[in-house]
Structure 1
Amino acid sequence: MGGGPALKKAEDFGGTVRRIVALIRRDRFRLASVIGFGVLMVCGMLAIPAILGDATDLVIDGAAAGGVDFGALTRILGIATAIALATFAITVHNGRTIAKMAQHMAFELREEADRKVAALPLSYFDSRPRGEVLSRVTNDIDNLTQTVGQVTQRIVQGLLFLIGVPVMMLTISPLLTLVVVVTLPLTLLATRLIGRRSQPRFAQQWATTGKLNGHVEEMITGHQLVTLFGRREEGAAVFKRHNEELYEHTVRAQWVSGLLGPAMMFLGWFTYVLVAVAGGLQVAAGALSFGQIQAFIQYTGQFQNPLNMLAAMFGQVQSAVASGERVFELLDAEEQSPEPVAAAGALAAVEGRVAFEDVSFRYLPDEPLIEHLWLEAAPGQTVAIVGPTGAGKTTLVNLLMRFYDLDAGRITVDGVDVSTVERERLRRRIGMVLQDTWLFEGTIAENIAYGRPEATREEVVAAARAAHADHFIRTLPDGYDTVVESDEGGLSAGERQLVTIARAFLIDPSILILDEATSSVDTRTEMLVQQGMVALRRGRTSFVIAHRLSTIRDADVIVVMEHGTVVEQGPHEKLLAAGGPYARLYEAQFARPAVEEEEAVTAAPARA
């Protein structure tokens, strides 16, 4: 099969199986129905070989006596037919019931996964591709529940046969029963040996499936960037590598698990030969009748059938267990810190005084980012946060929103520690406009009203006008009812950003966070949006993260951050006069281009 990475062993195969069984047991009424009807079905199927054996003896004895009692034979065959029809009806009923059980399990797992995803911290999604998480919620849950639907009835039926068949065998011949049972350890040994080698390969198969889905999601989401920068060949090469890995892991898993089928077939034929030889000797000795040996051989087949079914389903079962492990890993992931029991009336009416008091935070334990930060914003103030990339600007507002928990210190709003306030209650008071716009599939009006679904059309239009988005919206084919079919939806980057700004206007927040909110609009639109922002910020505490310093000159306080620390703060003019880090940033953006232009103009006549 060629070389490959080291096999990743299943973390807890037995534990995963027990959890899957616990999921099945949740649907107790349907499970009890399946088991109850299954017992009746197995009893009927166990009775049929004995009945047919009696029919065989009736024919042989009648022929030896000179006449067959066809009336009795008809009654025996009629009973066998009725039992066969009843077992068929039970099989159909159990199949439908188990299908409902499997889909109910899928329904509950998806709901649990949805609740879990909502409760996970941002750090969980920061540390793994989105496609990997999506694969667990979709592919792995589907694989697990479909397998449960396909194998549950067979497993229940097989276990009942493995219990009932030896009992019927013992009533015919304890010696032949011993011959059959002796081969059982060989079957269990083959199952164990093959299972230990195939399970890690199935785990690799589904892990690689997650990687492939993650890469495909990235390539589709960033299709324009991939094409623009000429990275399609590289993306195709990565896809080919993941696809080849998936192919190899799947072939290995299926090939190894597929060895169990031939092994079971060989052991089955070996058992059949032993029974036939030993049974023939007993018939010749007069210890058994022809009908009894016929019935026993049929019971031998019924005893082997569950083992052969297990062999046929072995790979599928192991694949489902591997998917189950991935699903349970998601469901067991550590959630964000529990919500506090908020004090009555906490943040009922926010004035907007925000304070960062000796705040420390790091994403990785050995890489400090923010250390002992102090910062205060008075009600109604506009605080601009500037600094180089990686200084901690966006992290600062993420901490205020409680997307992450602090390592030390505290953040207060109106003197209330935000860690003692429910996240939802806190975030209802905060409006946020990000640099990366996000629109969902729906109308323009629904996207604007995302934070206030109950808003009237008049309120939506007023918010759009305040954000200077009303004009372009009315030029769309269906105006505010134009459907955005994807994150882009035919809108330009600037138009999408105006929609998100209108969304912030509509929720009327007490605290406003603008993270490069005008970075994707043209200069003229930026001026219009800035006018709207002035109106939006009036009476609200605002945090504005900006790289273009021209957009934050009117801020009450400009905070300069470097390496997670506030190195300078104050109004624009004061910081310029101080000649510190802010003045250097400002000079880098404005002064140097002007000097270069002046030098170019001065040098032009000399070159002429």
Structure 2
Amino acid sequence: MVQFIEVESERNNGCDEGTRPPWAVVGSPRIEEELFAQAFDKNIVRRIWTFLEPYRIKVAIAVAAVLICAGVQLLIPLIIRHAIQHAISPRGLDGSELLAAAGVFLVAILVNCAASHTQESMIGKMVELVLFDIRRAMFGHLQKVSLSFMDKTEVGRLMSRLQGDVSSIQEFLETSALSVGDIALLFGIVVVMLWLDFSLGLLTLTVLPVLFVVRILWLPSARNAFTAANETNSAANGALAEAIHGVRAVQSMDRQEVNFLLYDDKAHANLKTHLTAAKYAQVMVPIVDTLTGFAMAFVVIAGSKIMHGRIDVGVTIAFLFYIQRFFDPIRSLTLQYSIMQRAMASGKRLTEVLDVEIKIVDKPDAKALSPQMDGSVEFRNVTFGYDPGHPVLKNFSLKVNPGDTVALVGPTGSGKSSAMALVQRFYDVQQGHVLVGGHDVRDLTQESLGRQVAMVLQEPFLFTGTVLDNIRYNKTDATREEVIQAAKTVGAHDFIMKLASGYDAPLGERGGNLSLGQRQLISFARALVADAKILVLDEATANIDSHTEMLIQKALTKLLHNRTGLVIAHRLATIRRADHIVVLQNGEVIETGSHAQLMAMGGLYFKLYNLNYASFDDLAEEQTETTVQGGRQT
């Protein structure tokens, strides 16, 4: 697997602007998260079961415990009925029968307690293990997916799937086993009531059609209310996150009041929809309670008047207990319906991530790149594009000899970063070959290729941890002495020692407690410790001050010693040091040569240098086109 020296979070990994599909923007309707799905999707359940299967014994024990709890709840009213029947008999309840009834009741309570404890512990452990496995599977898969997928996927949505959607699955798994008990209890109560007295049982169940009619009328409006509440919640959270991340821009443009009003509107909309959703959620409770009261009234009236003399008091009291319990599973299953809908939508999104095709894979007979390889890099007639119909590189050829430093220059969108991404095989070419050490990168293992190609980006990415850990991120077995020597070589040692704990100083998120130049020097030290034969520098000196650039230029000289260097740069100070300079325009090589040779050609490079521009992007498009047409070289 290719190992990263730097990971850049806010770029499109070599995907030039305009190549991302139009639907990959925030808020686009095509990627709005689905909040609810169909209540049951057998394909999603089957995928969830693959994670449950290793724990099927725990599942069986939990379900058995739930069913035992349901059975005990069915048994307790029958015990009470038996005791009452004997208590009001002419001979009364003798002591032995009283003790027997009390003993059976106590045993039932103890069994219920043990079963309840078993179900809670089994379900809790099983769910946590399954969630752990799902998160591991998703994280492991996302580490391997092709960058073409990451180019068009919002990081925030991936985080949502790793966190929010997994939580929905957790809620579903925790309640599913209990739903088995609810269903068993519901049908059990119906069967027992009909068994105790068929006529009174049918009379009691006449309230159910009313409940079903109410539910049919209630569900569409409630679902719309819950969906609206989730949507406004997402909008409010998005506005909050955007304002926090952009607080510098907000304060610099004195937008605090305007932003507050915008957020206030979203917060009030969120409040309104949540109040509506709460109203629909709460309306079922009094309805169910009312129906419970009617059912109990039917039993009392029927037992005392309509069926007087045919139904004993014990049966009537047992019916009252069963009616009280009858509507509890109905409430629970109503809640489970919404939980299942959310779980099916979340499961669909999770499986979409797990099913993302890994396009960059090693061949079965892939060879490991030898550490003794010469470090040469060659592009042979390479054509490549993120969208195959719109190539970024067109018939691109370049040979870099071992130990040489080659600079790639050209306007944004000319294909510089794309060429470097192909060296590390982040993407595969559509045509041609990319060779490292004389081998096509598609014939090499990604792990061995990653060990020999180090990359330093324009925006260095540091991870949470110590300075020491960050420098040896790509070579975890590097000694402290090796790390210190690398830091001294690139000029980072002095400022590191000024930190509170030196090399053991903890870094904030993304190294936020260091300046950009300091972060870049640490990234150079990281590349030096990795000891790769090929070093790729992608705009590594673009966003730093002149003093830091001087330090980094010295570090570059030491970094590139005895290494093959591929440098993408706009600054002339970096370009002039290269052994060879390649000028790209629209994915094609238009000039090649050393600094002196390119100056003698009088082409685009000459134009840039004589106008004293700091960057190729500073040239007007018409100037670039005129120069290219007048001095094209290949």
Paired position in structure 2 for 1:69: 94
Shift of 1:277: 4.6
- CA distance 1:320–1:543, change in 2 (3 Å): same
- Are positions 1:52 and 2:86 aligned together? no
Of residues 550-559 and 12-21 in structure 1, the stretch that sits farther from structure 2 once superposed is 12-21
Paired position in structure 2 for 1:283: 307
Q: 1:96 aligns with which of 121, 125, 138?
A: 121
Gaps of 5+ in 1: 593-608
Paired position in structure 1 for 2:196: 172
Q: Distance in 1 between matches of 2:614 and 2:93?
A: 116
Q: Distance in 2 between matches of 1:507 and 1:473?
A: 19
AA partner of residue 68 (structure 2): L
Paired position in structure 2 for 1:126: 151
Shift of 1:261: 3.9
- Are positions 1:563 and 2:586 aligned together? yes
Shift of 1:158: 0.7
Paired position in structure 2 for 1:468: 491
Paired position in structure 2 for 1:411: 434
Can you list the C-alpha shifts for 1:529-585, whole angstroms capped at 9, x where unaligned?
323322322332211011112211121221112222222222111111212122222
Shift of 1:38: 2.6
Q: Distance in 2 between matches of 1:141 and 1:591?
A: 49
Shift of 1:28: 1.4
| Native 8 Å contact 2:81 2:314 kept in 1 | yes
Q: Distance in 1 between matches of 2:405 and 2:251?
A: 40
The correspondence of residues 433-452 of structure 1 with structure 2, limited to 5 A, is 433-452=456-475
Q: Distance in 2 between matches of 1:7 and 1:545?
A: 38
Can you list the C-alpha shifts for 1:486-526, whole angstroms capped at 9, x where unaligned?
32343211111111111111111111101121234433442
Q: Distance in 2 between matches of 1:129 and 1:469?
A: 34
Paired position in structure 2 for 1:598: none
- Are positions 1:527 and 2:550 aligned together? yes
AA partner of residue 530 (structure 1): Q
- Are positions 1:14 and 2:37 aligned together? no
The correspondence of residues 54-453 of structure 1 with structure 2, limited to 5 A, is 54-62=82-90, 68-146=93-171, 148-149=173-174, 151-180=175-204, 184=208, 187=211, 191=215, 194-195=218-219, 198=222, 220=244, 223-224=247-248, 227-228=251-252, 247=271, 250=274, 254-280=278-304, 283-284=307-308, 286-312=309-335, 314-364=337-387, 367-453=390-476
| Native 8 Å contact 1:58 1:73 kept in 2 | no
Please state whether the residue corresponding to 2:496 is helix, strand or coil.
helix
TM-score by length of 1: 0.85
| Native 8 Å contact 2:51 2:134 kept in 1 | no
Shift of 1:153: 4.9
AA partner of residue 27 (structure 1): Y
By relative contact order (CA 8 Å, sep 6+), the higher-ranking structure is 2
- What is the Cα-based RMSD across aligned positions, in Å? 3.4
AA partner of residue 428 (structure 1): R
Aligned residues: 583
Percent same amino acid among aligned pairs? 33
The correspondence of residues 516-595 of structure 1 with structure 2, limited to 5 A, is 516-590=539-613
| Native 8 Å contact 1:282 1:288 kept in 2 | no
Can you list the C-alpha shifts for 1:412-461, whole angstroms capped at 9, x where unaligned?
22332212323222111111111101111222222111111111122111
- CA distance 1:7–1:457, change in 2 (3 Å): closer
Please state whether the residue corresponding to 1:487 is helix, strand or coil.
helix
Q: 2:59 aligns with which of 1, 13, 31?
A: 31
Shift of 1:407: 3.3
Of residues 18-27 and 288-297 in structure 1, the stretch that sits farther from structure 2 once superposed is 18-27
Can you list the C-alpha shifts for 1:450-479, whole angstroms capped at 9, x where unaligned?
111111122111111221112222232322
TM-score by length of 2: 0.82
Q: Distance in 2 between matches of 1:480 and 1:7?
A: 43
Q: Distance in 1 between matches of 2:443 and 2:589?
A: 25
Gaps of 5+ in 2: 1-28, 616-634
Paired position in structure 2 for 1:599: none
- CA distance 1:253–1:562, change in 2 (3 Å): farther
